[in-house]
Structure 1
Amino acid sequence: MALLEVSNLDVRFALRQGEVRALRDVSFTLDRGERLGIVGESGAGKSVAAFTLLNLIAKPGYIAGGSIRFEGIDLARMSSRELRRVRGNRISMIFQDPMMTLNPVLSIGEQMVESLKAHRRISTQEARAIALHKLKQVYIPSPETRLDQYPHELSGGMRQRIIIAIALLLDPDIIVADEPTTALDVTIQAEIMTLLRELCEKHNVGLVLITHDLGVVSQMTQRTLVMYAGRVIEQGPTREIINDAQHPYTQGLLNALPQMTTPGSRLNQIPGSMPSLSNTPSGCAFHPRCQYRYDATGQPRRDCLDQVPEFVTSGNCQVACHMVRDMLAKEAS
């Protein structure tokens, strides 16, 4: 049995202008020690998926269907009291902005001790010793000094290491990292990602990494989910997706990487933009931006316009695309 099993997850937001679906039939699994990437543009539903894993969706959002099973127990059906024993303890989360996560009026040590004592019956002295050990694990220089400093006294990279240390405080089974290097420069990004990978491998911790960067995913994860307009449109081993992307959207994301163009030339881009959740196109949501939406006669494909594509298996990957379905059927005949 997988450590985490998400099945047919449906998340909606009840707004004045009507209900919108942020996640549609999202399913995936995560094994112990596995690193999973969730990729897509802004608005694809990545962060909603991350928050939903810990049932952190606030009103007017709610889980309308599906399940999130952690060691066989459905987190979506847990009470707030039961979830408190899981959040931060068994499943930790690293948010995008460390300054929004850390309390500016408490020292680093006070925040770490508070987190530990919320879940364990230990003395302040014991909690402080654990906090110091975790700071050493994430290679914080002069950790004894850092414990008594405040967030504003630390650099961006240092604050992000503190957040990772806090996520590791209670030895979780899973870490959910929601674009953990967004505000950092490239050099620090690489250091943080290397640190996360090292810690997951050393402690056999499962990682769900939310990002828009397929370059980061290729270095960090073993499996990848590509999301578009609230749906998973391709999933499989990361190496296979990077080397032979099947869905036109995944191909577009890869072609948009800076290293895919010659120096001095314009970057490749996917035409158009992510649709609004309140006005998602019928059929395949990607069809207005897809270069393969026309048939051999130059007419729009009716299935792309009218039918939501089902998953088909291509190699070790699953792809939701009518064109890929037709290509596989042609190869099989």
Structure 2
Amino acid sequence: MALLEVNHLDVRFALRGGDIQALRDVSFSLDRGERLGIVGESGAGKSVAAFSILNLIAQPGYIAGGDIHFDGQTLSAMSEHQLRQIRGHRISMIFQDPMMTLNPVLSIGEQMVECLRAHRRISHREAREIALDRLKQVQIPSPQKRLDQYPHELSGGMRQRIIIAIALLLDPDIIIADEPTTALDVTIQAEIMALLLELCEQHNVALMLITHDLGVVSQVTQRTLVMYAGRIIEQGPTKEIINDAQHPYTQGLINALPQMADPGQRLNQIRGAMPSLNAIPSGCAFNPRCDFATEHCRHVMPEFVTSGGCQVACHMVREMIEEAQHHA
């Protein structure tokens, strides 16, 4: 049994003009110690999927259907009090912007001690020792000094290391990292991702990495979900998706990587833009941007079909598989 199972998740936002659907029929699982990537453009539904797991969706958003199971418990049926025992303790989250996560008026040490003592019955001194140990693990220089500093006194890279240290404080089973390196420069990004990967392997922590960067996904994750307009459209082993993407959208994301263009030439891009949630096209949501779209694609939503080790929601892929089977 998987550590985390998300089944047919449906998330909506209640607006004056009627509900709009942010996630539709999203299902995936995560095993203990596994590293899962969730990729897609802005607005694909990646963060909504992650926030739904811990019921952190702000009003007017709500979970309209489906269920979420964690280690034999049904998270989607838990009360707010029960969820507090899970959040930060067994499932930790690393957000995009460390300055939005850290409290500017409390020292780093105070924030780490407060987090520990909220979940464990330990003394202030014991909590501070654990906090110091975690800062050493994330390779912060002069960790003793950093405990008494405030967030504004630290660089962006250091703040992100502290966020990782806080995420590891209570030995979680899962870390959900939502674009953890967006605000950092490229060299620091690589350091932070390497550190996160190393710590997850050391502690056998499952990692759910949300990003739009397929380069990072290819280096860090074992399995990948590709999302578009609130739906998973392709999922499977990361190597297989990177080396032989099946869905035209996934192919477009890979072709848009800078290294895929010839030197001096314009970068490749997917034409058009992600549809807004209140104007998702009928049939396959990607059809207005797809070079292979047919009338069938414009009217009928594709079901998943197995291609190699991947699951792909695409009519064209289904037709290619059926044709190959017919000629076999």
Matched, 1:313 2:313: no
Look up the match of 1:115: 115
String of CA shifts for 1:293-328, please: whole Å, max 9, x gaps: 1xxxxxxx2210110000000000000000000000
Q: Could you say which residue in structure 2 is the equivalent of 1:204?
A: 204
Distance 1:21 1:78 in 2: 23
* Alpha-carbon separation, structure 1, partners of 2:304 and 2:275: 21
Alpha-carbon distance in structure 1 between the residues aligned to 2:142 and 2:240: 42
For residues 61-105 of structure 1, give each alpha carbon's deviation from its aligned partner in whole angstroms, at most 9, with x where no partner exists.
000010110012111110001001000000000000000000001
Which residue number corresponds to residue 35 of structure 1?
Answer: 35
Give the superposition deviation at 1:254: 0.2
Letter in 2 for 1:120: R
Task: Give the aligned partner of residue 65 of structure 2.
Answer: 65
Aligned-partner SS, 1:266: coil
Report the secondary structure of 2:249's partner residue.
helix
Per the alignment, residue 149 of structure 2 pairs with 149
Q: Take 1:17 and 1:131, find their aligned partners in 2: how far apart are those partners? A: 48
Partners in 2 of 1:16 and 1:72 — Cα distance? 37
Residue correspondence of structure 1 range 48-127 to structure 2 within 5 A: 48-127=48-127
Alignment-derived partner of residue 297 in structure 1:
none
Q: Structure 1 residue 326 and structure 2 residue 319: aligned?
A: yes
Q: How far apart in 1 are the matches of 2:301 and 2:192?
A: 38
Give 2:297's match in structure 1, choosing from 304, 308, 315: 304
Query: By how many angstroms is 1:141 displaced?
Result: 0.6
Q: C-alpha displacement at 1:18, in angstroms? A: 1.5
Q: Distance between the aligned counterparts of 1:258 and 1:103, measured in 2?
A: 37
- What is residue 263 of structure 2 aligned with on the other side? 263
Aligned to 1:272: 272
Matched residue, 2:176: 176
Matched, 1:291 2:291: yes
| Structural mapping, 1:1-16, within 5 Å | 1-16=1-16
Q: Indicate the percent of aligned positions where both proteins have the same amino acid.
A: 79
Matches of 1:303 and 1:67 in 2, distance apart? Answer: 31
Cα distance per residue 1:114-138 (max 9 Å; x no partner):
0001001111000000000000010
Alignment map for 1:209-288 (pairs within 5 Å): 209-288=209-288
How far did 1:53 drift?
Answer: 1.0
Aligned partner of residue 2 in structure 1, secondary structure: coil
Paired residue secondary structure (2:324): helix
Provide structure 2 residue ranges, at least 5 long, that are not aligned to the other structure: none
- One-letter identity of the residue aligned with 1:199: L
In structure 1, the gaps of 5 or more residues are 294-300
Length-normalised TM-score, structure 1? 0.97
Letter paired with 1:311 = F
CA shift digits 1:147-196 (9 cap, x unpaired): 00000000000000000000000000000000000000000000000001
Normalised TM-score (structure 2):
0.99
Runs (4+) of structure 1 moved beyond 2 Å?
none
**Distance between the aligned counterparts of 1:59 and 1:152, measured in 2?**
30
Which residue identity does 1:202 align to in structure 2? Q
Q: CA RMSD in A?
A: 0.5
Residue 225 (structure 1) shift: 0.1
